[in-house]
Amino acid sequence: MAKSGDGIRILQGLLVFGNVVIGMCGIALTAECIFFVSDPHGLYPLLEATENDDIYAAAWIGIFVGFALFALSILGIVAVIKSNRTLLLVYIILMLITYAFEMASCITAATHRDFLTPNLFLKQMLERYQKSDTDNNNDKWMTEGVTKTWDKLMLRNQCCGVYGPSDWQEYTSAFRKTHIDADFPWPHNCCVMDAQGSPVNLDGCKLGVPGYYNSNGCYDTISGPMNTHAWGVAWFGFAILCWTFCVLLGTMFYWSRIEY
């Protein structure tokens, strides 16, 4: 009896430790998801215009799941120490619900990241950047979002287009409808700017002289943060769920071994 008593004490200790880790991971998940939702790189308007912004939904779910995990881990620690069957059962069921939500968040983030390809952003940029004839308010809102975001991206990261300035030459675009090719082979934001925000050499920029225009594409500066966002939510959530799985199995075993 003493030996199994020791075994159960060890299990108790492990469960408490497991719940402590879950609680800390819950807080970390909440913090990480708040960071992503705050959109530090200003890329949300691009996602909004693709009408496929579910990686943000996944981050929102992550915020609440993180809180839930923290609260439930405290409940779990109390329940394990008191060896109260009712409390443990409540803990297990609530944890399973939280598990399901977190699973949804991870799978959503991972799946929707796969939709965000360079061609998607290229098409969106060509169809929406500087579009002047918008159909309705929603269209106007999305167009303004895309235009502002691209202007900011091109100026801040010294890049042009998705693959490069040739995007504006290879395809017709909404931009081309209002800006003729001879004056604007590509937007002037693709030019190297001086301290006052005007092109250093506009003719050099229009000619495409290396050094007066930005010849690299902006896709890396878009996909970098988005990948971090999606994989951060998906894989950190996955890690938490694997750990939670072990703790929950241990808790179920513990529950079945205590008397009322």
Partner 1 sequence: RPTLCLLLTDQIPTLTKPTLATSALGGFITASTFVLEQPRCTFTGPQDTVIWLVVARPEAVPSFNNSVKPGSPARAFQQFLNSTLAYMTLNTTLLNYPCPKKPGEITVLRVGSETSCTSDANRPTCNGPLPNPGPYQVKFLALNGSEPVAETAWSDPITLRTAKPPSSIPGKGSGRSAGMIALTSILSILFAILLAGLVAMLVWGSDVGGGSSTFSKPEAVTVRRYNTHHVYDQPAARL
Please tell me whether residue 14 binds partner 1 under the rule CB under 8 A: no
Please tell me whether residue 5 binds partner 1 under the rule CB under 8 A: yes
Spatial contact of 218 and 153, defined as CB atoms under 8 Å apart: yes
Which has the closest alpha carbon to 168: 191, 138, 202, 145?
Answer: 191
Please tell me whether residue 238 binds partner 1 under the rule CB under 8 A: yes
Question: What is the C-alpha separation between 246 and 251, in angstroms, rounded?
Answer: 9
Spatial contact of 72 and 95, defined as CB atoms under 8 Å apart: yes
Distances (CA, A) of 242 to 102, 103, 166, 239, 248: 11, 11, 46, 5, 10
User: In angstroms, what is the minimal distance from the CB of 115 to partner 1?
Assistant: 5
Report 67-86 residues binding partner 1 (CB under 8 A).
83
Query: Burial, 27: exposed, middle or buried (Cβ in 10 Å; 0-12, 13-18, 19+)?
Result: middle
Q: Which two tokens stand for residue 7?
A: 């075994």
Residue where the block lists tokens 């205590």: 258
Query: Burial, 47: exposed, middle or buried (Cβ in 10 Å; 0-12, 13-18, 19+)?
Result: buried
User: In angstroms, what is the minimal distance from the CB of 248 to partner 1?
Assistant: 6
Spatial contact of 55 and 229, defined as CB atoms under 8 Å apart: yes
Report 99-128 residues binding partner 1 (CB under 8 A).
99-100, 103, 106-107, 110-111, 113-115, 117, 119-120, 122-123, 126-127
Please tell me whether residue 166 binds partner 1 under the rule CB under 8 A: yes
Contact with partner 1 (CB under 8 A) among 20, 157, 208, 216: 208
User: In angstroms, what is the minimal distance from the CB of 42 to partner 1?
Assistant: 23
Please tell me whether residue 252 binds partner 1 under the rule CB under 8 A: yes
Spatial contact of 128 and 149, defined as CB atoms under 8 Å apart: no
User: In angstroms, what is the minimal distance from the CB of 103 to partner 1?
Assistant: 5
Please tell me whether residue 217 binds partner 1 under the rule CB under 8 A: no
Q: Given the rule CB under 8 A, which residues bind partner 1?
A: 1, 4-5, 8, 83, 92-93, 96, 99-100, 103, 106-107, 110-111, 113-115, 117, 119-120, 122-123, 126-127, 165-166, 169-173, 176, 180-183, 185, 203, 206-210, 213, 215, 234-235, 238, 241-242, 245, 248-249, 252, 255-260
